[in-house]
């Protein structure tokens, strides 16, 4: 971007809905304050309106265009009161710079207002449009730059000076101070979690006079022309794991590699057109560079230092000229000289040290003189910048299919086509004479996706929705056809450019319907009209993996994406005792293993370690975490693609982030088990190190009370059957797109990672789900048996104690509930010592892979539909499988509810159980202080409250319960 180009951020405050009354008269006078990069703007006050409409555009200057994505935009709503009184807080939203779009791509987005603290009383939402505009700025004289940086538009300050309004101050308790930390960077991140404090938290001065005392932030901004927002955000992120350059590989062991960089050569006595190449020899290891005429190779080679069998290194330069008489088909090679290196004298380099500069070395030769080669030799680790692009001795050199790569899933949208009606159709007269009332239907195609409406009479309306999955970059056209059901012929069609379709992010944005002319063919330029409505839905999350193991729940539209709450660091250390997967040069087996990890849209693939049963990758990767109740999937595969074969799965590991403690490193080995038609087989073990870091404990706890899926899934839900179809379609699109990458991520790999066969009938899975239900019901049976033992005096002391508790409950009935919650508090506290320290993983025993019969495996791996010879058996078999798959899903859903309740009391999710622990303590004290009758009466009135005071989103307890872990992610 040109240096004289300036960027302005435009924030359009449109309206707000269903605000909390704060003036004591059942209404509120709301105004908005917007903070961005040290700049503050204020809207007008809308008096006595709980649904105010502003439609005001506020402009902000973007100081650093490159760092705009790391800036934070904060919008605070306040209730405006008279002079001398405090303003009440109505809610706020915080948006990251990653959601800003360019002018023309903006849309009205409604954000739910958030609390400032746990004591805030906030409800409602605010609708805003945010976009940026790039303008060519006139050059500013140097002497005026500082003044321009400090200036504030006079029209912004004038209303504040006239009104003499005091800064708002919330009538609620302030946030508690951040906890002390031994890490100073953590303390800085905790203290700056609220990057733009509200006016009432700063002081109680009028808004117009707020910038009069120059603060350190203002001084920094005036001197540099930049805001401190970028510094704060960087500190927050760096506090998660420290210096990324310094500890980018802190979860894995350093692997020493010998690096040899051959840059170029100077040859004195050879023709300029003579091709040259260099050879590197270390004992039995020998490799040569590419042959070039320009003598500029600039290639890096990495040798596994532990597998070297020599203490010396030789770099030689060779020329290829003429043909050898003994071998006419080959070129004659002659050595121009050699440079020896003693490996004991090779220097070591540890990032972030600068790369070692190459040097010229004279080539030693008996016949040639004056020849030089530029070489750099050093010892480093896999953290070296040159490692990824270097020739690697343990991963097949420069074979593309064996290199470590990072992939991104395509951005997926739901495309909704609403077919309303048709008019003036030009039907075939012959077919119309045969059929008095012909039936028509509409067929829509997007790529390979095909959906049809129901049949209806000519002139009738459908009003049916057809939902597709669209991936960026989009297919060029959406084809809509009208067909005559009587003769199967097409009446006409229309093609709609997908890139021109309107986008919306919520159900409140109206999409206009349009009439399109149908084209019947070359001889029919006009075949009628069709009335349709089409839009791209950005408020949904497009599921491309099974719901119980999903790794991403964000909406498609980036305007709805909140900032990440933490980082996930995963270290792929190595594998042990892998079994041979394929043969190599005879009966001996071999395994060329690599690892694929998926979290969110980001896929990573480690390098392939060739011909080793105990490979050590020691590679580390990082993901942004937006929701803690998500699952990381790691798979191990044997690489056959570099030889033209398919990759073979060796095993899979799934880890749920909510079961991990924050800022704690877990380093464990997990058994790899693969299921095939021959049965379950243990293929070895994989060692993984994982760490979940969180920047704000409050944001992490608040995530447990928010809905799992975006708002559109609740206000306009998709049916179960429709979700299955769309999920399978999305999985196929992701598979096809990743298969087109270079190098490709194979179809078999993607489907294995996404669990594409989760909803297919399997007797083994049905058994596993059934026994999960039985396991939950067994707790109830144990309680019934315990009560029966008390009634029958099996344990007399226990029975006598129950008599005493019964008398105490009757005499002191008001202490029953407090005692129950206090007892639950003590039980949960005592069970903390039994909290599992190893993350949960796929479990073979729970999956019943060890007791499955050969017939059941044959049925599970059979194709769908089955390929049995008898037609009758095939029909019955397919019907049974389709019905049983629904029963299987139902059993799994029933089991999930019981397992979530059990996980709440077993510290499986430490944070969720900790929330219950604190809740039990507070509820116990509440029942002690408040009479039971008052609480019952309050709960009853709250339950039957007026619909006006209800929210259309799920309640916090329901959201909390749905986020609890179950055993679904451990089922194979």
Query: Is the peptide bond prior to 352 cis by the omega test (within 30 degrees of 0)?
Result: yes
Residue that has been written with the tokens 């010396």 in this structure: 312
Tell me what pLDDT residue 32 has: 93
| DSSP for 457-490, written as a single string | ETT-EEEEEEEEEEESSPPSEEEEEEEETTT--E
State the angle between helix axes of 932-943 and 910-929 in degrees (0 to 180), rounded to the nearest 10: 120
**Within 10 Å of residue 885's Cβ, how many Cβ atoms?**
19
Please name the helix (run of DSSP H) or strand (run of DSSP E) that holds residue 136, with its range, or none: strand 125-136
* Confidence band of 891 (pLDDT split at 50, 70, 90): confident
State the average pLDDT over residues 591-614: 92
Is the CB of residue 27 less than 8 Å from the CB of residue 81? no
Name which residue leads in pLDDT, 187 or 658: 658
Q: Which residues of 103-118 are buried (b: 16+ CB within 10 A; e: fewer)?
A: eeebbbbbbbbebbee
Give which of 868, 740, 850, 163 is closest to 408, Cα–Cα.
740
Is the CB of residue 438 less than 8 Å from the CB of residue 489? no
| Dist. CA 744–CA 739, nearest whole Å | 5
The answer to which of 194-203, 360-369, 599-608 has the lowest mean pLDDT is 194-203
| Dist. CA 13–CA 44, nearest whole Å | 10
| Dist. CA 285–CA 308, nearest whole Å | 8
Q: In what order do the strands lie in the sheet with 359-362?
A: 359-362, 372-380, 257-266, 296-304, 391-392
CA atoms within 13 A on the CB side of 78: 25
Tokens coding 372: 């030089």
Tell me what pLDDT residue 876 has: 62
| Cβ-Cβ contacts under 8 Å for 56 (sequence gap 6 or more) | 12, 13, 43, 44
Provide CATH 2.60.40.150 ranges for the chain: 5-136, 256-322+332-393, 412-427+438-537, 558-754
| Dist. CA 253–CA 243, nearest whole Å | 18
| Sequence-separated contacts (24+) of 445-453 with Cβ below 8 Å | 445/478, 445/479, 445/481, 446/415, 446/470, 446/475, 446/478, 446/479, 446/498, 447/475, 448/732, 449/729, 451/417, 453/419
Please name the helix (run of DSSP H) or strand (run of DSSP E) that holds residue 753, with its range, or none: helix 747-754
Which of 391-400, 544-553, 599-608 is the most confident on average? 599-608
Give which of 557, 566, 550, 562 is closest to 598, Cα–Cα.
550
| Dist. CA 416–CA 449, nearest whole Å | 13
Is the CB of residue 583 less than 8 Å from the CB of residue 589? yes
**Within 10 Å of residue 588's Cβ, how many Cβ atoms?**
9
3-state secondary structure of 45: coil
* Confidence band of 872 (pLDDT split at 50, 70, 90): low
Beta bridge partners of 637: 594, 649
* Confidence band of 602 (pLDDT split at 50, 70, 90): very high
**Within 10 Å of residue 927's Cβ, how many Cβ atoms?**
20
| Dist. CA 401–CA 645, nearest whole Å | 12
The answer to which of 442-451, 516-525, 588-597, 803-812 has the lowest mean pLDDT is 803-812
Is the CB of residue 668 less than 8 Å from the CB of residue 688? yes
Cα of first residue to Cα of last residue in the chain, in angstroms, is 51
Q: How many helices (H) and strands (E) does the chain have?
A: 21, 39
State the average pLDDT over residues 487-495: 87
Q: Has residue 528 got a pLDDT over 50? A: yes
Name which residue leads in pLDDT, 866 or 349: 349
* Confidence band of 666 (pLDDT split at 50, 70, 90): very high
Tell me what pLDDT residue 768 has: 82
| Dist. CA 245–CA 251, nearest whole Å | 13
DSSP-assigned letter for residue 346 = -
CA atoms within 13 A on the CB side of 623: 28
Q: What is the dihedral of CA 214, 218, 222, 227, to 10 degrees?
A: 180
List pLDDT tens digits, range 236-262. Answer: 333 333 333 334 678 888 888 999 999
Tell me what pLDDT residue 805 has: 79
Tell me what pLDDT residue 241 has: 36
The domain 256-322+332-393 is placed in CATH, from the list 3.40.190.10, 2.170.130.10, 2.60.40.150, 1.10.3720.10, at: 2.60.40.150
Tell me what pLDDT residue 883 has: 64
Beta bridge partners of 261: 300, 376
State the average pLDDT over residues 114-124: 81
DSSP-assigned letter for residue 592 = -
Indicate whether this model's pTM tops 0.85: no
Average pLDDT, the chain: 79
Is the CB of residue 189 less than 8 Å from the CB of residue 239? yes
Q: Has residue 48 got a pLDDT over 90? A: no
- Alpha helix positions (H), 831-969: 844-847, 854-860, 871-904, 910-929, 932-943, 956-962
Q: Which CATH architecture has domain 558-754?
A: Sandwich (2.60)
DSSP-assigned letter for residue 364 = B
List pLDDT tens digits, range 672-715. Answer: 988 888 888 899 999 999 999 988 888 899 889 888 899 999 99
| Dist. CA 233–CA 91, nearest whole Å | 22
Please name the helix (run of DSSP H) or strand (run of DSSP E) that holds residue 33, with its range, or none: strand 30-36
| Dist. CA 593–CA 636, nearest whole Å | 7
Say how many residues make up the chain: 972
Give which of 372, 314, 381 is closest to 343, Cα–Cα.
314
Please name the helix (run of DSSP H) or strand (run of DSSP E) that holds residue 789, with its range, or none: helix 763-791
Please name the helix (run of DSSP H) or strand (run of DSSP E) that holds residue 452, with its range, or none: strand 449-452
Tell me what pLDDT residue 160 has: 37
DSSP-assigned letter for residue 855 = H
List pLDDT tens digits, range 380-390. Answer: 888 888 888 88
Tell me what pLDDT residue 118 has: 67
State the average pLDDT over residues 295-315: 86
List pLDDT tens digits, range 53-72. Answer: 999 999 998 888 888 888 88
Give which of 315, 338, 334 is closest to 324, Cα–Cα.
334
The domain 5-136 is placed in CATH, from the list 3.40.630.30, 3.30.70.60, 2.60.40.150, 2.60.120.920, at: 2.60.40.150
| Dist. CA 408–CA 334, nearest whole Å | 47
The answer to which of 158-167, 692-701, 761-770 has the lowest mean pLDDT is 158-167
Does the domain at residues 412-427+438-537 carry the CATH identifier 3.30.590.10?
Answer: no
| Dist. CA 962–CA 479, nearest whole Å | 39
3-state secondary structure of 687: strand
State the average pLDDT over residues 23-31: 84
Tokens coding 794: 């099996």
């Amino acid at each position: 971007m040109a240096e004289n180009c300036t960027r302005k951020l435009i924030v359009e405050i449109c309206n707000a809905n269903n605000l909390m009354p704060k003036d004591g008269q059942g209404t509120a006078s709301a105004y908005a304050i917007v903070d961005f990069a040290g700049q503050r703007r204020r809207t007008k006050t809308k008096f006595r309106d709980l649904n105010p409409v502003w439609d005001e555009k506020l402009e902000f200057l973007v100081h650093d265009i490159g760092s705009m994505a790391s800036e934070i935009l904060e919008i605070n709503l306040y209730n405006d009161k008279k002079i001398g009184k405090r303003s009440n807080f109505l809610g706020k939203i915080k948006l990251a710079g990653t959601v800003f779009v360019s002018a023309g791509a903006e849309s009205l987005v409604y954000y739910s207002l958030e609390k400032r603290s746990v004591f805030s009383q906030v409800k409602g939402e605010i609708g805003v449009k945010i976009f940026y505009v790039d303008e060519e700025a006139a050059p500013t004289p140097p002497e005026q730059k500082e003044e321009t940086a400090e200036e504030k538009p006079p029209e912004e300050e004038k209303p504040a000076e006239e009104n003499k309004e005091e800064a708002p101050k919330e009538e609620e308790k302030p946030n508690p101070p951040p906890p002390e930390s031994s890490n100073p960077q953590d303390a800085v991140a905790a203290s700056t979690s609220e990057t733009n404090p509200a006016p009432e938290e700063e002081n109680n001065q009028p808004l117009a006079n707020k910038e009069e005392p120059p603060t350190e932030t203002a001084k920094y901004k005036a001197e540099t022309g930049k805001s401190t927002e970028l510094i704060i955000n960087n500190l927050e992120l760096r506090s998660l794991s420290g210096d990324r350059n310094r500890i980018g590989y802190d979860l894995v062991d350093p692997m020493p590699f010998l690096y040899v960089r051959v840059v170029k050569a100077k040859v004195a006595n050879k023709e300029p057109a003579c091709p040259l190449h260099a050879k590197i020899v270390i004992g039995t290891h020998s490799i040569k560079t590419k042959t070039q005429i320009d003598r500029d190779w600039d290639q890096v080679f990495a040798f596994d230092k532990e597998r070297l069998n020599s203490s010396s290194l030789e770099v030689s330069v060779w020329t290829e000229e003429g043909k050898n008489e003994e071998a006419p088909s080959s070129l004659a090679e002659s050595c121009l000289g050699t440079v020896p290196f003693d490996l004991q004298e090779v220097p070591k380099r540890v990032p972030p040290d600068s790369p070692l500069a190459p040097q010229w070395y004279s080539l030693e030769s008996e016949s040639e003189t004056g020849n030089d080669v530029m070489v750099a030799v050093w010892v480093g680790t896999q953290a070296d910048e040159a490692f990824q692009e270097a020739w690697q001795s343990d991963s097949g050199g420069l074979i593309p299919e064996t290199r470590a790569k990072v992939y991104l899933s395509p951005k997926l949208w739901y495309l909704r086509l609403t077919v309303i009606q048709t008019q003036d159709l030009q039907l075939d007269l012959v077919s119309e004479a045969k059929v008095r009332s012909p039936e028509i239907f509409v067929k829509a195609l997007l790529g390979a996706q095909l959906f049809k409406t129901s049949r209806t009479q000519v002139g009738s309306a459908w009003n049916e929705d057809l939902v597709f999955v669209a991936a960026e970059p989009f297919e060029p056209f959406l084809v809509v056809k009208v067909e005559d059901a009587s003769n199967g012929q097409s009446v006409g069609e229309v093609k709609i450019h997908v890139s021109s379709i309107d986008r919306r992010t919520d159900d409140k944005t109206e999409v206009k319907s349009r009439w399109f002319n149908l084209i019947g063919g070359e001889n029919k330029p006009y075949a009628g009209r069709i009335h349709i409505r089409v839009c791209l839905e950005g408020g949904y999350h497009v599921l491309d993996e099974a719901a119980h193991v999903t790794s991403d729940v964000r909406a498609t539209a980036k305007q709805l994406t909140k900032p990440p709450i933490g980082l996930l660091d995963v270290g792929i250390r190595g594998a042990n005792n892998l079994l041979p997967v394929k043969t190599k040069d005879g009966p001996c087996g071999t395994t060329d293993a690599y690892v694929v990890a998926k979290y969110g849209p980001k896929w990573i693939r480690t390098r392939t370690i060739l011909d080793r049963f105990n490979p050590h990758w020691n590679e580390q990767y990082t993901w942004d975490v937006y929701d803690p109740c998500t699952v990381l999937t790691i798979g191990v595969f044997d690489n056959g693609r570099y030889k033209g074969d398919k990759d073979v799965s060796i095993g899979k590991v799934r880890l749920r982030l909510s079961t991990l403690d924050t800022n704690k490193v877990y380093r464990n080995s997990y058994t790899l088990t693969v299921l095939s038609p021959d049965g379950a087989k243990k293929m070895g073990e994989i060692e993984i190190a994982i760490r979940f870091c969180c920047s704000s404990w409050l944001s992490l706890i608040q995530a447990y009370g928010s809905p799992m899926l975006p708002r559109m899934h609740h206000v306009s839900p998709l049916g179960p059957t429709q979700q299955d179809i769309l999920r399978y379609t999305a999985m196929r699109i992701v598979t096809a797109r990743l298969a087109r990458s270079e190098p490709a991520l194979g179809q078999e790999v993607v489907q294995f990672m996404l669990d594409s066969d989760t909803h297919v009938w399997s007797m083994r899975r049905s058994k596993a789900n059934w026994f999960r239900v039985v396991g939950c019901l067994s707790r109830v049976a144990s309680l019934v048996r315990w009560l029966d033992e008390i009634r029958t005096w099996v344990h007399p002391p226990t029975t006598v104690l129950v008599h005493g508790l019964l008398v105490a409950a009757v005499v002191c009935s008001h202490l029953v509930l407090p005692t129950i919650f206090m007892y639950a508090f003590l039980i949960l506290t005592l069970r903390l010592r039994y909290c599992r320290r190893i993350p949960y993983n796929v479990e073979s025993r729970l999956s019943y892979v060890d007791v499955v019969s050969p017939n059941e495996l044959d049925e599970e791996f059979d194709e769908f539909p089955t390929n049995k010879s008898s037609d009758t058996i095939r029909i019955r078999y397919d019907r049974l499988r389709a019905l049983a798959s629904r029963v299987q899903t139902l059993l799994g859903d029933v089991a999930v509810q019981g397992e979530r309740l059990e996980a709440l009391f077993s510290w499986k999710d430490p944070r969720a159980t900790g929330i219950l622990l604190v809740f039990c303590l507070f509820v116990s004290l509440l029942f002690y202080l408040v009479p039971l009758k008052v609480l019952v009466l309050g709960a009853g009135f709250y339950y039957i409250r007026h619909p006006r005071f209800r929210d259309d989103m799920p309640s916090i307890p329901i959201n909390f319960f749905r986020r609890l872990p179950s055993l679904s992610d451990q089922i194979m």
